[in-house]
Amino acid sequence: MTTQGEVAADPGGGSGRDAAAPAQGRRERKKAQTRQALADAALRLFTERGYDQVTVAQIAEEADVAVATLFKHVPDGKEALIFDDGVERREGLVAAVRERPEGRSIIAALRAFISGRGPFMAEPTPEFRRRTALITGTPALADYSRKLWVASEDALAEAVAAEAGRTADDMTVRALVRYVLEVPDLAGRASDPRAAMDAVFDLLEAGWPGP
């Protein structure tokens, strides 16, 4: 597929660039539509039948695509179907640190970001609540969700280090980032996820109390 950079560098110029850009837009829209159809089908079947009772072939049939097409869009398999690719999550974590209001600590900024996601949302819609319950109650989906959070470690460490005047391989930076990225999995499975999340962040902000 031609990238935007390659189109801009097209030595032919003129109509060659103008024709390529809309075509690329249509391809991307088609991919997004197929990906959404697969996600909707997977969520519907997982909710109705249970994750373990649904096969990849059944999801493909429900979305009216070939199994090969499903794996083309979601190579990680059925556990990845109801998640995004993690880019938005990673960019959101980094932005929470870099664009936090003046006077807000890094930990407070990360708490605010995580509090607006998944089981920590204050007023989720019924549909979102069902999706969250499915994820936290299904080990394979919960494990995949954790994988997406942990995949942001390097990017978040660089952002935290830059704001703290340290290097990304500083052990205190790495420890903080790793602890924060484990919060969604650890607290998300608690009976009161929001209270559990706050307890962990309170600890991170105050430090472990003495005896």
Q: What residues does each domain of the chain span?
A: 12-80, 87-206
One-letter amino acid at 135 equals: I
Dihedral Cα 5, 7, 12, 16, nearest 10 deg: -160
Question: Do residues 120 and 187 touch, judged by C-beta distance below 8 A?
Answer: yes
One-letter amino acid at 189 equals: R
Residue 7 has pLDDT above 80, yes or no: no
Residues in CB range of 89: below 8 A, 6 or more apart = 148, 149, 152
Average pLDDT taken over every residue of the chain: 87
CB atoms within 10 A of CB 73: 18
Using alpha carbons, select from 203, 149, 206 the residue that is nearest to residue 177.
Answer: 149
The CATH classification of domain 12-80, taken from the options 1.10.357.10, 2.70.98.10, 1.10.286.10, 2.30.110.10: 1.10.357.10
Give the 3-state secondary structure of residue 176.
helix
**pLDDT number for residue 24:** 57
Residue 184 has pLDDT above 90, yes or no: yes
d(CA 203, CA 198): 8
pLDDT digits 0-9 by tens, 21-74 = 455 588 888 888 999 999 999 999 999 999 999 999 999 999 999 999 999 988
**pLDDT number for residue 23:** 52
d(CA 29, CA 37): 12
CATH of the domain spanning 87-206: 1.10.357.10
Percent helix / strand / coil, the chain, rounded to 5? 75, 0, 25
pLDDT digits 0-9 by tens, 79-88 = 999 998 899 9
Q: Do domains 12-80 and 87-206 have the same CATH topology?
A: yes
The whole model's pTM is what? 0.80
